[in-house]
């Protein structure tokens, strides 16, 4: 299994975020991806490549053009006002019946294109998000090219993460939806139906929204109950999609304190659904913030559990498989936990 990684992510650091009503140091730091890269190399799973530049086309296949234009120019517009601190929204466009016209002022645009205050923009945010997406594109293309024997798997070490970003909004540390971009790449390369399996602690609301009305991408997620945890407004079990996409969404919310036996049973249910979906390829949103020591999450998985998660994925998922790194904020353990999933997957395959 080879991996794709870009150093551009290091230029993006939000510095602060709102957490529990306080302004705190951001949990989403450059060290996260660095620890995953180090663990991958130490495990000797494969080679690590820098992605080639596939341009904007794979991004625009998933995201609205005006949103992408906003991301590309947001820091310059903010900095033009003489501001050197990170740009954060202070007012949000939310609720039905409100005007839909895009504001001219950058402060209005920040709220227009954001779902929360978790996505600070600094000078390096767009390059980091752009090259994070390029890692997902490169990993998807490599997996698709190597499937003659039906066993191809790749890993995109993406930072910033992506699964909360919708087609037109940032949120939850996410600017571009790397998993959705990878899934769309697999579809464009001839896979008739793709499954996205999200195992991050938080519901992949952005990915769900992007494929909500489509029947060619099956989305399933096991995550914290949205009654009690972020993103709060999606991820309930009765959300099944709409129109052509009805039945192509499966959510498995789990309570705080969930340990391995309950989690693995839910994972088996998700894998059963992937089997039934008839998918021919898979994207895994690989978040390991389900870990018992994660500072912003409330599941109780242990390091040894990630190897078993990987084994089950390796035995069940249709190939090609693209792993896309998402959350995991216990910095000391995040690399070992993410790579344990990959090791279990490879051992089972």
Q: What is the pLDDT of residue 98?
A: 63
Give the three-state DSSP class for 15: coil
Establish if 6 belongs to a structural domain.
Answer: yes
Q: What is the pLDDT of residue 148?
A: 56
Establish if 93 belongs to a structural domain.
Answer: no
Q: CA 151 to CA 84: how far, in whole Å?
A: 48
Q: Which residues of 178-209 are buried (b: 16+ CB within 10 A; e: fewer)?
A: bbbbbbbbbbeeebebbbbbbbbbbbbbbbbb
Establish if 291 belongs to a structural domain.
Answer: yes
Beta strands in 32-75 (DSSP E): 48-49
Establish if 26 belongs to a structural domain.
Answer: yes
Establish if 107 belongs to a structural domain.
Answer: no
Beta strands in 12-77 (DSSP E): 16-19, 22-25, 48-49
Active site amino acids: 164
Establish if 81 belongs to a structural domain.
Answer: no
For helices 303-316 and 331-348, give the axis angle rounded to 10 degrees: 30
Give the three-state DSSP class for 291: strand
Q: CA 91 to CA 108: how far, in whole Å?
A: 7
Give the three-state DSSP class for 215: coil
Q: What is the pLDDT of residue 96?
A: 56
Note the Cα 341 to chain centre separation in Å: 16
pLDDT, averaged in runs of 10, over the chain (349 residues):
97 84 90 98 97 98 97 96 90 67 92 92 97 98 79 94 97 98 98 98 98 98 97 97 98 98 98 98 98 98 98 97 98 98 95
Distances (CA, A) of 297 to 33, 201, 270, 305: 18, 7, 21, 16
- Reported as half-sphere exposure (CB side, CA atoms, 13 A), residue 29 has a value of 13
Q: What is the DSSP string of 71-99?
A: HHHHHHHHHHTT--SPB--SS---STTS-
| CATH code, domain carrying 243 | 3.40.800.20
Residue whose token pair is 């890269």 = 37
Given a contact cutoff of 8 angstroms between Cβ atoms, the answer to whether 326 and 176 are in contact is: no
Our count of domains for the chain comes to 1
Give the three-state DSSP class for 66: helix
Q: What is the pLDDT of residue 18?
A: 79
Residue 298: CB atoms within 10 A of its CB come to 18
Q: What is the pLDDT of residue 101?
A: 85
Given a contact cutoff of 8 angstroms between Cβ atoms, the answer to whether 226 and 239 are in contact is: no
Q: What is the pLDDT of residue 171?
A: 95
Q: Please, what's the largest Cα pairwise distance for the chain?
A: 56
Q: CA 212 to CA 196: how far, in whole Å?
A: 12
- For 309, the domain range is 2-74+119-348
Establish if 80 belongs to a structural domain.
Answer: no
Q: What is the DSSP string of 132-167?
A: HHHHHHHHHHHHHHT-TTS--EEEE--SS--TT--S
Establish if 91 belongs to a structural domain.
Answer: no
């Amino acid at each position: 299994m080879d991996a794709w990684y870009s150093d551009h992510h290091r230029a993006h650091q939000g510095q602060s975020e709102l957490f529990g009503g306080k302004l705190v140091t951001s949990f989403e730091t450059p060290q996260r991806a660095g620890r995953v890269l180090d663990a991958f190399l130490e495990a000797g799973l494969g080679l690590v490549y820098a992605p080639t530049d596939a341009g904007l086309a794979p991004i625009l296949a998933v995201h609205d053009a005006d949103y992408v234009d906003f991301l590309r120019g947001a820091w310059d517009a903010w900095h033009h006002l003489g501001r050197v601190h990170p740009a954060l929204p202070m007012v949000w466009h939310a609720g039905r019946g409100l005007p839909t016209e895009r504001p001219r002022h950058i402060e209005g645009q920040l709220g227009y294109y954001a779902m929360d205050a978790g996505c600070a923009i600094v000078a390096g945010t767009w390059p980091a998000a752009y090259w994070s997406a390029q890692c997902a594109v490169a990993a998807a293309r490599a997996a698709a090219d190597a499937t003659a024997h039906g066993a191809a798997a790749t890993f995109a070490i993406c930072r910033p993460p992506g699964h909360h970003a919708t087609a037109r909004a940032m949120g939850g540390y996410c600017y571009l939806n790397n998993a959705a971009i990878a899934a769309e790449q697999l579809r464009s390369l001839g896979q008739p139906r793709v499954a996205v399996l999200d195992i991050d602690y938080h519901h992949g609301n952005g990915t769900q929204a992007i494929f909500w009305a489509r029947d060619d991408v099956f989305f399933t997620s096991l995550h914290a109950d949205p009654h009690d945890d972020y993103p709060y407004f999606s991820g309930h079990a009765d959300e099944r999609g709409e129109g052509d996409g009805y039945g192509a969404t499966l959510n498995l919310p789990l309570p705080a304190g969930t340990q391995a036996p309950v989690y693995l049973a839910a994972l088996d249910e998700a894998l059963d659904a992937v089997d039934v979906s008839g998918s021919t390829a898979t994207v895994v949103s690989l978040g390991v913030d389900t870990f018992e020591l994660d500072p912003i999450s409330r599941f109780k998985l242990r390091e040894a559990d990630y190897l078993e998660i990987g084994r089950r994925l390796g035995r069940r998922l249709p190939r090609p498989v693209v792993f896309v790194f998402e959350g995991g904020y216990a910095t000391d353990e995040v690399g070992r936990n993410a790579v344990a999933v990959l090791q279990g997957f490879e051992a089972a395959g």
